[in-house]
Amino acid sequence: MTLPLLLALPMVLLAVGVYAVIAARPPHGSRQVYSVALAVSTVALIAALAYLASGQAPETLRLPIGLPWLGAHFRLDPLAAFFLIVVNLGSAVASLFALGYGQHETAPERVLPFYPAFLAGMNLVLLADDAFAFLFAWEFMSLSSWALVMAHHQDPANTRAGYLYLVMACFGTLALLLTFGLLAGPDGGYNFDAIRAGQITPGLAALVLALALIGAGSKAGLVPLHVWLPLAHPAAPSHVSALMSGVMTKVAVYGFIRIIFDLLGEPVAWWWGGMVLALGGITAVLGVLYALMQHDLKRLLAYHTVENIGIIFIGLGLALAFQGNQMYASAALALTAALFHVLNHSLFKSLLFLGTGAVLTATGERDMEHLGGLIHPMPYTALAFLIGAAAISALPPLNGFVSEWLTFQAILLSPELPQWLLKFLAPAVGALLALSAALAAACFVKAFGITFLGRPRSPVAAQAKETDRYSLTAMFILAGLCVVAGILPGLVVDGLGPVVGSLNGSVQLTTQHNQPWLTLVPIVDVKSTYNGLLVMLFMAISGTLAALLIHRLASNKVRRGPAWDCGFPDASPATQYTAGSFAQPIRRVFGSVVFQARERVTMPPPGDLRPAKLEVRMRDPVWEIGYAPIATAVVALSSRFNYLQYLTIRRYLGLVFGALVLLLLGMVLWR
Amino acid sequence: MALITDYLVQGCQMLLILLLAPLLTGWVRVIKARLLRRRGSPLLQPYRDLYKLLGKEVVLAESASWLFRVAPYLIFAAIWVAAALVPTFANGLLFSWTADLIAIVALLGSARFFLALAGLDVGTSFGGIGSSREMMIASLAEPAMLMMVFTLSLLAGTTELSAVARFMLTADVGLRVSLGLALLALMMVAIAENARIPVDNPATHLELTMVHEAMVLEYSGRHLALIELAASLKLLLYLSLLACIFAPWGMAAAGAGLAAYGIGLMVYVIKLAFGGVLLALFETSVAKMRVFRVDEFLGAALMLGLLGALLLFVSREL
């Protein structure tokens, strides 16, 4: 019986949260809270792993809390177990990191009570089995993470981020509320079992898809609902940023999968897949382009989350398209790719945010233009960050490549689809995916190269110190998992088998672990194979062989000297490439179209002593088209109705009476 | 016994490409020099350069980190493994299923990633200029290459290179528009990825337009030797790729015996020599582009690749 245990653990977390309100005083308070969070997450992780490995039937439980006629239903099935693994792995590592990192927190009383509550909220979302419990837990997760975003509220930028997050979270929850309302139907069967059993007309089902895309998409960061994410994720303390970006977005993906693949049952129309696919492709490319234009390290990572969510939704869209055409074998591949990327992204994005946290502790800076050369004082952090950067750039033999490879293989199966629109869409999305993968590599060469390589661009970067042991352990656990998932992908695919099967009419990929040399063979008759283990081995052997031979037979002498730089001696660190200049070619090629980026050089006339100036102006198309008009309209409307705030009590009563009459009239007419 | 032979043949292929790569670079240089009516350096000059570089001490910049010293080995290993997975004289070798065409592209991406980082490591302006431009070029070249992979795998039904080559030998391939587009896209990508004229100039050091040479400017001694060898291997890889996909004739089948391997080897060398001549001819007949024309060149390659794939998504006959 795993479910009662998994339900008890969030309660422990909540109790710790309450305890933290009273006892959150450094240094012991933070250590106690994070230790308990680490222990609880580890237990939950092991329990979920054991459940998924044992292949038991779903467990359900009804508790007499919540709505009196409904109670609270909870359920543990393979899908929930997989996401529990993702969530609790992320939280365990983040808690371990915070054992060290949390010591530097300036306002622990604003972080410690909400941190365990946030973890509990995410766990409960995954276990909920009725609409009320789901929405309650979802909103609990949103609000506790909002409190964490507002932890450093003295900074006006953080306050703005918190406000935007709150608005978007409420909007998303509203959409989900309507989704469940539609799903439950007029009889109000809010239990998920009742929803699964119920039938729904195609028109309403399409509406459910749209609302689920808005509700879950706004939390996950689908373009154009991503605007809050790059502001809010960086505002929180780094271990919380890691959880929000690496893990909470996955809970949103879980919500989408639960509603569309599980509750709604079989997709009725093929164009659903097309819609999700197109959204995913656009999200992937726009996300990475936004990320490339940033020079705030945390904001770059947050924008990059948007890209990865796009990749996940490409996989989900393909799966929907295949399922809509009863091609379950292909759908299994697409779903596996999407879920594999969910796991991968939670690993490397958490790792990168934790690395940024270490940099932030060491230097107090997250603006890359003031960093540089950190590989010298912080070699271990640099190594862990490098592994994360290589993994997220989809470089073999690490894990990011495997899930992108699987997604490409799924796209290559799409000519079998009968619909013309999908036939055209799939290769176009494939091109977008390839483009975003290449741009991601550029983005992380920039992120790692400007932050850790070169020479320090400011005194704080020059005086940085390596971070503490807890943080390093946490980062290397994640880095190790990135490598393991990359070289043994067959085991992960096998682990995902029951999850995929439960969503895909019991069709899953063939068993991988008995393939020779642990090769990944997703579809047997296509014969496309990849073996991360051998690629890793071959690279290790040939690299070591070359090093050994050269050092033994040729020269192994080294002399240090000043940099050559084509004969320009002793240049100042200011002559290095910066984050802005590194991205300049890409800004000119892509940004001039997407962001209407314009550069203007102001050159003073000869004899004038003013410095020359280079100005770059970029516009955010999504904000300007989608959000700015709404914001303007809201402001205009509210100033128009502002006088309503200064009425006499008589008039207010009159207003209330008038509204009541109008509503009653409407009711009568509608009946 | 058969297994041992298989291992041996695979090992031979790895050694062969390593030995042939500098020869190919020398051959292209000789042809280019002759086309310009210069005498040029001898054919074996690249070997001598490598030998000399290997024996010299390394002069490291003071600001260089451990990454700068590790990167050459990583780059060399990634490109060597990628090149060894491309069928040369024989098809379907023992480990040919290790990585498919997508993985080969990604392995080259790994090498590029570390090379670009190494360019940024010392903290000089030239290193930065090279890395930044290299990533811009790659951001278009890599998707173009993947689109070419799409086209091939839609035709052959797999992304595995030896299976693709086997398919291209069968009679029912014929002349196809999509294949022509893919060939054009691959050639354009090959020129860009190997830092050839008109995208980059492999023979220059003092030009503000240099890309690849700017990244490796700080390297010396054995590190430079490894990077030069890796660059030669990459050129060989692309020519082998073109040969194995678009001219797979004469390649020995798996386990075909020594005589077939010998013939395959001779045909392969002839193909390489021919490819080298074509490359030199092309390079001497065009002028180098401005850096911000490169994106148009590669954007065209990407569009050609996408068009080829789209045609196949529409109809398998095109």
pLDDT in tens, A208-266: 999 999 999 999 999 899 999 999 999 999 999 999 999 999 999 999 999 999 998 76
For the four alpha carbons of A473, A479, A480 and A481, in that order, the dihedral sign comes to: positive
3-state class (DSSP) for residue A586: helix
Give the residue from chain B lying closest to A395, CA to CA: B110
Which chain A residues touch B81 with a CB distance below 8 Å? 535, 538-539, 542
Which chain A residues touch B313 with a CB distance below 8 Å? 414-415, 423-424, 426-427
Rounded distance, CA A353 to CA A366, Å? 11
Give the residue from chain B lying closest to A537, CA to CA: B81
Q: Does one domain contain both A541 and A395? A: yes
The reply to whether omega before A156 is within 30° of 0 (cis) is no
The percentage of residues in chain A with a pLDDT greater than 90, rounded to a whole number, is: 67
CB-based contact B113 A558, cutoff 8 Å: no
Q: How far is A468 from chain B (nearest CA, A)?
A: 21
Burial class (CB in 10 A: 0-12, 13-18, 19+), A154: exposed
Residue A9 lies in a domain: no
Q: What is the DSSP letter of A610?
A: S
Q: How far is A546 from chain B (nearest CA, A)?
A: 7
Alpha-carbon distances, residue A477 vs A351, A481, A484 (angstroms) = 9, 6, 10
Average confidence (pLDDT) over A13-38: 85
Per-residue pLDDT of chain B (318 residues; tens, 9 = 90+): 677 888 888 888 899 999 999 999 999 999 999 999 999 899 999 999 999 999 999 999 999 999 999 999 999 999 999 999 999 888 877 777 888 899 999 999 999 999 999 999 998 888 999 999 999 999 999 999 999 999 998 888 888 888 888 888 886 777 888 899 999 999 999 999 998 988 888 777 666 778 888 899 999 999 999 999 999 999 999 999 999 999 888 888 877 788 888 999 999 999 999 999 999 999 999 988 888 889 999 999 999 999 998 888 777 777
Rounded distance, CA A578 to CA A91, Å? 34
Rounded distance, CA A396 to CA B79, Å? 12
Q: Within 13 Å of residue A663, how many CA atoms lie on the same side as its CB?
A: 6
Give the residue from chain A lying closest to B135, CA to CA: A442
Q: Does one domain contain both A604 and A655? A: no
Q: Does one domain contain both A519 and A666? A: no
pLDDT, position A27 = 64
Average confidence (pLDDT) over A498-507: 88
Q: Does one domain contain both A589 and A639? A: no
A406-415 per-position pLDDT tens digit: 999 999 988 8
A163: left (phi over 0), alpha (psi -120 to 50) or beta: alpha
Preferred mutation among A398, A416, A450, A453 to probe B, highest tally of B CBs within 10 A: A453
Residue A1 lies in a domain: no
Residue A588 lies in a domain: yes
What kind and span of H or E run contains B105?
A: helix B101-121
Rounded distance, CA A472 to CA A449, Å? 20
Q: Does one domain contain both A609 and A626? A: no
Give the residue from chain B lying closest to A382, CA to CA: B67
Q: Does one domain contain both A606 and A639? A: no
The domain segmentation of chain B, as residue ranges, is 2-269+287-314
The percentage of residues in chain A with a pLDDT greater than 70, rounded to a whole number, is: 98
Residue A10 lies in a domain: no
Q: How far is A536 from chain B (nearest CA, A)?
A: 9
A381-428 per-position pLDDT tens digit: 999 999 999 999 999 889 999 999 999 999 998 888 888 888 889 989
Which chain A residues touch B140 with a CB distance below 8 Å? 438, 589
Q: Does one domain contain both A451 and A527? A: yes
Tokens of A189: 């069967």
CB-based contact B163 A571, cutoff 8 Å: no
B236 touches A: beta carbon within 8 Å: no
CB-based contact A236:A295 (threshold 8 Å): no
CB-based contact B109 A441, cutoff 8 Å: yes
A436-461 per-position pLDDT tens digit: 999 999 999 999 999 999 999 999 99
pLDDT, position B230 = 96
pLDDT, position B67 = 95
Of B98, B135, B309, the CB nearest to A427: B309
pLDDT > 90? residue A522: no
Give the residue from chain A lying closest to B80, CA to CA: A542
Kindly write down the DSSP assignment for every residue of B210-232, as one continuous string.
Answer: -SHHHHTTT--HHHHHHHHHHHH
CB-based contact A540 B77, cutoff 8 Å: yes
Please identify among residues 123-152 of chain B the ones whose CB lies closer than 8 Å to any CB of chain A: 123-129, 131-133, 135-136, 138-143, 146-147, 150
Give the residue from chain A lying closest to B108, CA to CA: A395
pLDDT, position B155 = 87
Question: Phi and psi for B37 in degrees, rounded to 5?
Answer: 60, 35
Average confidence (pLDDT) over A196-206: 86
CB-based contact A2:A84 (threshold 8 Å): no
Q: How confident is the model at residue A26 (pLDDT cuts 50, 70, 90)?
A: low
Query: Where are any strands of DSSP class E within chain B?
Result: 58-61
pLDDT > 70? residue A570: no
pLDDT, position A25 = 67
3-state class (DSSP) for residue A189: coil
CB-based contact A469:A100 (threshold 8 Å): yes
Preferred mutation among B65, B117, B139 to probe A, highest tally of A CBs within 10 A: B139
Question: What are A191's strand-pairing partners?
Answer: A130
Q: Taking Cα atoms as reference points, which of A234, A233, A242 lies closest to residue A92?
A: A242
Q: Does one domain contain both A536 and A605? A: no
Of B74, B160, B226, the CB nearest to A528: B160
B177 touches A: beta carbon within 8 Å: no
A167-179 per-position pLDDT tens digit: 999 999 999 999 9
pLDDT, position B207 = 64
B254-280: b (≥16 Cβ within 10 Å) or e: eebeeebbeebbebbbebbbebbeebb
Which chain A residues touch B97 with a CB distance below 8 Å? 519, 529, 531
Number of domains in chain A: 3
Q: Does one domain contain both A349 and A476? A: yes
Q: Write down the ipTM of this complex.
A: 0.95
CB-based contact A454 B117, cutoff 8 Å: no
Residue A83 lies in a domain: no
Residue A295 lies in a domain: yes
Contacts of B47 (CB under 8 A, 6+ apart): B22, B23, B26
Q: Does one domain contain both A379 and A338? A: yes
Q: How far is B277 from chain A (nearest CA, A)?
A: 30
Kindly write down the DSSP assignment for every residue of A149-185, as one continuous string.
Answer: HGGGTTSHHHHHHHHHHHHHHHHHHHHHHHHHHHHHT
Q: How many CB atoms lie within 10 A of CB B307?
A: 18
Domain that holds residue A655: 621-670
The reply to whether omega before B87 is within 30° of 0 (cis) is no
Q: Does one domain contain both A281 and A349? A: yes
Residue A248 lies in a domain: no
Q: How confident is the model at residue A668 (pLDDT cuts 50, 70, 90)?
A: very high
Which chain B residues touch A379 with a CB distance below 8 Å? 65-66
Query: Where are any strands of DSSP class E within A470-586?
Result: 558-561
Q: Does one domain contain both A416 and A502? A: yes
